[in-house]
């Protein structure tokens, strides 16, 4: 009985393995293929002479700088999103005034509103604030559009804290600040990890805000760096693939480092 | 715009375009006000052309009381920044432009200084430039701009090795082209490389066929936004020619997936997988960079785009980017000195020689010997002769038309080439978009 | 059900809970007030709400981005009614969202449940399955574009090995959208697999043991135990997918630019191209406002469906 389900499952797994592995193989192998061999050798054979030149070219084009910019934008977006959303969620959970609830409704409305819809006014506002062509210009709107989901997730997270805990702290005369630091912050950690991952992915992947809100190569983030590489050196697919591999390294390090937290955080955030 | 996009940073596309949205948006490299009384010169950023210009500016500054201040901009936001600045105190004195419809809007607003009087005093300068190119900045019989960069005509490139193996000659007429399509198809070679993932590559065919069949007036009506201009029979006929090529298998079956960003079409030509490739003159530099042996081994051939028998247009007409122009802003503080700078510089030997030195083909009379001595002598001479002999040099439509119509034509021509629109449908769609 | 489990979607379970803090409780007046909400509110107001107001205004103007916008009344909205790209764009957008959900959800669910198992080889394979998540959206789109190149990419290599002509994938108007679906699945299935994996690990094993005692097969167990236990996770994952689908446009922008023709021109991309390539900012703003309305409507549906509205009380906000 049990065995019957195994064969199709195994076939499906192998198929999916191929679907995932072939592109990854293509990316890695191409990144190691000498640039002039790419067009003549075809896409799949294992290269006979491996070359790291492609990585050199990618690095010379300033990829370390793009990496740094992307890292800054991602970390700052996560920090700003969490820093704004957690106090808001705290207020929403503990304060039942009409105003606060109206505020919650507004955030909920924003849940599925796509950021690109307001890109023109956001651009105008950023220039008025004299932030055009800076990393701050990317962080602020990215964080703003991460807020609705963050608040939804964190509010739920906070509601799981038993009321008695709040009450006992309040009876001890703890002010809001202390309740927040001693109770809310530690107990909302799973939710914070979830929000951090989602808003971090948004910032790391974002193209539109950096594209419209920055200009100089000094503040270029990775996605734009990759795109620009393709635009300027279109024939250099191996170079592009080397850049792609380089751009994945920080994520790989982060994954190896924080795998357990990642799984636990996601399980907490979107679990049963 | 789309055409140049492929050659410039993709990032310019939107990001930078947004930068032009408001005056407040500039400020990266703009001049700090108009103080100092210098001649403000705005030009597109170019690693090769800017240094040439800078040298001439330095030379001019040495013997002039008013200096020239050059400001460079990235391609796409430039149009916007210019449009915002014109008519305001922040306007430059000399500005880079594309001629045609682009320049016309400023002329219509009375913001551009006619150069006829000055040219009458310096007849040698006017005579120095090729008439068909100078005409691109001539509006209502008055001259508003002088050519400041090289010519980029679109021509038919072919692989000589593949042609020799097939015993074929490059096409002179449309019927030749159709026969060649059949010849190469029989041999299992894709007749024409086409990077159809972007519309502007396909637009080249439509533009040439329209010109060959109907002549330049048809496009003039489009640019002038005359009602019903897109319904001109020549456009429909041109679209039918495009479809005929597609259905005949001229471009193979994969062409809509071929991206112009990675210059795959150039590679297909160089490797002999395709026999021909219609592209701007920059294709030569692309081939030099990506397949040097293909060029140095004299396997790369080129001819003008084929004629269409029975058409009203002159087969010697050329489509592409004639040149870019410098124009002088009317009513500025330094009209006279700015004009003098242009007259002194653009037709002068130092500037022209330096431009040839960086691989450009200046639209200037009598430079053939200089081109013949340059690195890309064969090709440069060919282009030069082609344009010199051309009665009309049509600016690429996506530059000549307004941005929204330019976008629409790129989308719809793509639909035409993947048969989502028939020629009648194409005309209808463009008529609605214009 | 540990503390902090389940975020988006189990509001109904909370109805039994007494509202946080009774009215008139001593501590009520000290409750965290608007000040705590302020940073989020200001950020959201400046970069989301104010722009929506500006977009609404711009949609009533004719503006090419230069100088001052000219008042145009409802002209853009009349154009919108007759724009044949809109029904097409809506159709493509809905199709993309629905097909993506249909592809990604079962895949992620099955992979997630499978990889939640204890065996060692599962951990290894799961790590491989996770790989796409390391790549950014741009990296994935550009890599796939190179990979799918009909002359120099993987299809060409496979086709020449099989002696068939290389397929025209991104350039075929009937296939391009499904290629986009495939690339999006490649990008996002690992993320949703992780969510399911984490959730599946929390299903008590006793439930399976009980089912096995009743003679249920593995397939039967999946249907009768796993699926019901994961229903909130399915909702949460689906919500993320639907919210995300309106931003799929960045992948499309890099992969096909909306082409061939307009075959993959989803509504957000249509708006983007109108505004930033065609410089018709007025009309682009009308399209943008349409997107905002669609997004807000979707939000309401999501909040209703996921039960978040009831999380606070039976008569909360929306």
Query: Which chain B residues are closer than 8 Å to C269 by Cβ?
Result: none
Residues near B94 by Cβ (< 8 Å), separated by ≥ 6? B39, B40, B41, B42, B68, B326, B327, B328, B329, B338, B341, B342
Statement to judge: residues A203 and A99 lie in one domain:
yes
What's the complex ipTM?
Answer: 0.88
Of C52, C158, C317, the CB nearest to A118: C52
All chains having 3 or more CB pairs closer than 8 angstroms to chain C: A, B
What are the residue ranges spanned by the domains of chain C? 83-279
Statement to judge: residues A99 and A151 lie in one domain:
yes
Statement to judge: residues A253 and A215 lie in one domain:
yes
Interface probe with A: pick from B74, B262, B290, most Cβ of A within 10 Å:
B262
Statement to judge: residues A32 and A71 lie in one domain:
no
3-class secondary structure, B157: strand
- What integer pLDDT is reported at residue B3 of this predicted model? 36
Of A127, A228, A234, the CB nearest to B25: A127
- What integer pLDDT is reported at residue A232 of this predicted model? 60
Q: Compare all CA atoms of chain A with the CA of B265 and give the residue at the minimum distance.
A: A235
Asked, colleague to colleague, whether B2-151+322-394 and B152-319+402-433 share their fold, the answer is yes
Interface probe with C: pick from B11, B12, B24, B257, most Cβ of C within 10 Å:
B257
Statement to judge: residues A137 and A213 lie in one domain:
yes
pLDDT < 50 regions, chain B: 1-36
Check CB contact of A42 with chain B, cutoff 8 Å: no
Fold of B2-151+322-394: D-Maltodextrin-Binding Protein; domain 2 (3.40.190)
Statement to judge: residues A211 and A247 lie in one domain:
yes
Q: Give contacts of C 37-66 with A, CB under 8 A.
A: 37, 39-41, 43-44, 46-52, 54-55, 58
Mean local confidence (pLDDT), A250-259: 81
Q: Give the separation between CA A210 and CA B47, rounded to whole angstroms.
A: 24
CB contact under 8 A, B420 and C261: yes
Q: Each residue of C239-273: pLDDT tens digit?
A: 889 888 877 888 998 888 887 888 999 999 999 88
Q: Give contacts of A 199-258 with B, CB under 8 A.
A: 210-216, 220, 224, 227-228, 230-232, 234-235, 237
Q: Compare all CA atoms of chain B with the CA of A40 and give the residue at the minimum distance.
A: B271
- What integer pLDDT is reported at residue C9 of this predicted model? 42
> Which DSSP symbol is given to B279?
E
Check CB contact of A173 with chain B, cutoff 8 Å: no
Residue A57 within a domain: no
- What integer pLDDT is reported at residue A249 of this predicted model? 87
CB contact under 8 A, A216 and B28: yes
- Structure confidence at residue A21 as a pLDDT band (50, 70, 90): very high
Q: How many C-beta atoms surround the C-beta of residue B312 within 10 A?
A: 14
Interface probe with B: pick from C63, C76, C150, C183, most Cβ of B within 10 Å:
C150
pLDDT at A189 > cutoff 60: yes
Q: Give the separation between CA B10 and CA B196, rounded to whole angstroms.
A: 18
Statement to judge: residues A237 and A125 lie in one domain:
yes
Statement to judge: residues A143 and A115 lie in one domain:
yes
Statement to judge: residues A22 and A113 lie in one domain:
no
H-only helix segments in chain A? 2-32, 38-41, 53-60, 63-94, 98-109, 119-128, 135-159, 163-171, 176-179, 185-187, 189-205, 208-213, 222-232, 237-270
Query: Which chain A residues are closer than 8 Å to C289 by Cβ?
Result: 117
Higher pLDDT among residues A183 and B339, named by residue: B339
Of B21, B25, B262, the CB nearest to A234: B262
- What integer pLDDT is reported at residue C120 of this predicted model? 73
Residue A79 within a domain: yes
Statement to judge: residues A255 and A215 lie in one domain:
yes
Fold of B152-319+402-433: D-Maltodextrin-Binding Protein; domain 2 (3.40.190)
Among residues A266, B229, B131, A166, which one has the least CA distance to residue C190? A266
Mean local confidence (pLDDT), A229-235: 64
The residue assigned the tokens 């038309």 is B401
Enclosing domain of residue A10: 2-51
Mean local confidence (pLDDT), A153-164: 84
pLDDT < 50 regions, chain C: 1-29, 309-318
Interface probe with A: pick from B14, B15, B285, most Cβ of A within 10 Å:
B15
Q: Each residue of B415-431: pLDDT tens digit?
A: 999 999 999 999 999 99
- What integer pLDDT is reported at residue C67 of this predicted model? 62
The region of weakest confidence among A81-85, A128-132, B9-13 is B9-13
Q: Give contacts of B 62-91 with A, CB under 8 A.
A: 74
Statement to judge: residues A237 and A192 lie in one domain:
yes
pLDDT at A254 > cutoff 80: yes
The superfamily CATH assigns to domain C83-279 is MetI-like (1.10.3720.10)
Among residues C136, C284, C190, which one has the least CA distance to residue A210? C136
CB contact under 8 A, B403 and C277: yes
Of A211, A215, A224, the CB nearest to B28: A215
Domain count, chain A: 2
Statement to judge: residues A26 and A113 lie in one domain:
no
Q: How many residues does chain B have?
A: 434
Q: How many C-beta atoms surround the C-beta of residue B11 within 10 A?
A: 22
Of B84, B257, B417, the CB nearest to C66: B84
């Amino acid at each position: 009985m049990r065995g019957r389900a195994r064969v199709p499952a195994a076939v499906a797994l192998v198929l999916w393995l191929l679907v995932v592995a072939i592109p990854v193989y293509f990316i890695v192998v191409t990144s190691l293929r000498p640039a002039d061999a790419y067009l003549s050798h075809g896409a799949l054979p294992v290269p006979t002479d491996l070359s790291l030149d492609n990585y050199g070219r990618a690095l010379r084009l300033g990829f370390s700088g793009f990496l740094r910019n992307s890292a800054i934008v991602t970390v700052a977006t996560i920090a700003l999103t969490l820093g704004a959303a957690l106090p808001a969620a705290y207020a929403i959970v503990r304060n039942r005034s009409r105003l606060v609830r109206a505020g919650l409704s507004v955030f909920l409305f924003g849940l599925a509103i796509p950021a690109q819809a307001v890109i023109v006014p956001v651009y105008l506002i950023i220039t008025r604030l004299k932030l055009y062509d800076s990393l701050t210009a990317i962080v602020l709107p990215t964080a703003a559009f991460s807020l609705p989901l963050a608040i939804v997730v964190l509010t739920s997270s906070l509601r799981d804290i038993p009321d008695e805990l709040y009450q006992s702290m309040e009876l001890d005369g703890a002010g809001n600040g202390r309740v927040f630091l001693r109770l809310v912050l530690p107990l909302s950690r799973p939710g914070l990890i979830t929000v951090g991952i989602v808003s971090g992915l948004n910032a790391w992947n974002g193209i539109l805000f950096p594209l419209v809100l920055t200009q100089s190569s000094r503040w270029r983030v990775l996605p734009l760096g990759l795109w620009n590489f393709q635009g300027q050196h279109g024939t250099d697919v191996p170079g592009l693939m080397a850049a792609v591999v380089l751009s994945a390294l920080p994520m790989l390090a982060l994954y190896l480092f924080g795998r357990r937290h990642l799984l636990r955080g996601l399980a907490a955030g979107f679990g049963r | 715009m789309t055409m140049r996009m492929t050659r410039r940073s993709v990032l310019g596309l939107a990001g930078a375009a947004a930068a032009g949205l408001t005056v407040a948006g500039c400020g990266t490299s703009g001049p700090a006000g108009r103080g100092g009384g210098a001649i403000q010169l705005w030009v597109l950023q170019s690693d090769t052309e800017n240094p040439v210009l800078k040298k001439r500016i330095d030379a001019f500054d040495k013997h002039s009381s008013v200096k020239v201040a050059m400001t460079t901009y990235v391609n796409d936001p430039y149009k916007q920044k210019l449009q915002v600045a014109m008519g305001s105190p922040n306007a430059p004195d000399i500005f880079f432009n594309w001629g045609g419809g682009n320049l016309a809007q400023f002329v219509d607003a009375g913001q551009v200084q006619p150069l006829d009087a000055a040219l009458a005093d310096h007849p040698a300068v006017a005579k120095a430039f090729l008439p068909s190119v100078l005409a691109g900045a001539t509006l209502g019989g008055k001259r508003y701009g002088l050519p400041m960069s090289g010519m980029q005509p679109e021509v038919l490139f072919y692989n000589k090795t593949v042609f020799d193996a097939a015993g074929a000659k490059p096409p002179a007429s449309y019927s030749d082209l159709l026969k060649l399509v059949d010849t190469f198809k029989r041999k299992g070679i894709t007749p024409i490389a086409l990077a159809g993932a972007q519309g502007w590559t396909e637009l080249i065919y439509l533009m040439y066929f329209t010109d060959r069949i109907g002549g330049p007036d048809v496009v003039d009506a489009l640019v002038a936004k005359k009602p019903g201009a897109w319904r001109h029979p020549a456009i429909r006929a041109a679209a039918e020619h495009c479809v005929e090529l597609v259905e005949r298998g001229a471009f193979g079956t994969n062409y809509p997936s071929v991206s112009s960003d990675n210059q795959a079409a150039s590679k297909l030509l160089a490797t002999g997988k395709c026999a021909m490739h219609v592209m701007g003159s920059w294709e030569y530099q692309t081939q030099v960079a990506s397949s040097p042996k293909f060029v140095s081994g004299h396997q790369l051939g080129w001819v003008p785009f084929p004629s269409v028998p029975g058409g009203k247009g002159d087969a010697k007409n050329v489509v592409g980017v004639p040149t870019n122009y410098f124009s002088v802003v009317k009513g500025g503080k330094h009209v006279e000195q700015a004009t003098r700078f242009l007259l002194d510089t653009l037709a002068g030997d130092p500037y022209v020689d330096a431009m040839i030195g960086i691989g450009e083909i200046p639209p200037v009379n009598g430079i053939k010997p200089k081109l013949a001595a340059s690195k890309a002598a064969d090709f440069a001479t060919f282009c030069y002769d082609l344009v010199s002999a051309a009665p009309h040099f049509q600016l690429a439509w996506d530059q000549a038309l307004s941005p929204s119509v330019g976008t629409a034509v790129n989308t719809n021509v793509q639909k035409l080439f993947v048969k989502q629109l028939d020629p009648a449908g194409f005309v209808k769609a463009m008529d609605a978009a214009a | 059900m540990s503390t902090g489990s389940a975020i988006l979607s189990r509001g109904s379970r909370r109805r039994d809970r007494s509202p946080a803090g009774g009215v008139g409780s001593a501590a009520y007046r000290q409750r965290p007030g608007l000040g705590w909400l302020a940073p989020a509110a200001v950020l959201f107001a400046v970069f989301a709400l104010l722009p929506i107001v500006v977009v609404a205004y711009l949609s009533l103007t004719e503006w090419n981005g230069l100088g001052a916008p000219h008042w145009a009344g409802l002209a853009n909205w009349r154009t919108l009614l007759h724009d044949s790209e809109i029904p097409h764009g809506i159709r493509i957008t809905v199709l993309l969202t629905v097909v993506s959900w249909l592809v990604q959800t079962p895949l992620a669910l099955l992979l997630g449940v499978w990889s939640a198992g204890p065996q060692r080889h599962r951990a290894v394979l799961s790590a491989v399955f996770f790989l796409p998540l390391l790549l950014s959206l741009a990296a994935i789109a550009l890599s796939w574009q190179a990979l799918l190149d009909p002359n120099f990419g993987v299809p060409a290599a496979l086709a020449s090995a099989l002696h068939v002509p290389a397929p025209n994938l991104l350039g075929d108007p009937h296939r391009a959208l499904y290629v986009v679906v495939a690339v999006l699945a490649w990008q996002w299935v690992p993320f949703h697999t992780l969510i399911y994996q984490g959730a599946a690990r929390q299903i008590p094993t006793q439930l399976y043991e009980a089912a096995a005692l009743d003679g249920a097969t593995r397939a039967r167990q999946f249907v009768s135990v796993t699926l019901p236990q994961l229903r909130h996770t399915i909702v949460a994952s689906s919500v993320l997918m639907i919210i995300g689908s309106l931003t799929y446009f960045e992948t499309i922008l890099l992969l096909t630019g909306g082409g061939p023709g307009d075959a993959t021109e989803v509504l957000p991309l249509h708006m983007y191209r109108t505004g930033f390539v065609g410089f018709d900012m007025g009309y682009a703003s009308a399209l943008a406002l349409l997107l905002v309305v669609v997004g807000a409507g979707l939000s309401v549906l999501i909040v209703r469906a996921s039960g978040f509205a009831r999380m606070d009380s039976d008569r909360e906000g929306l």
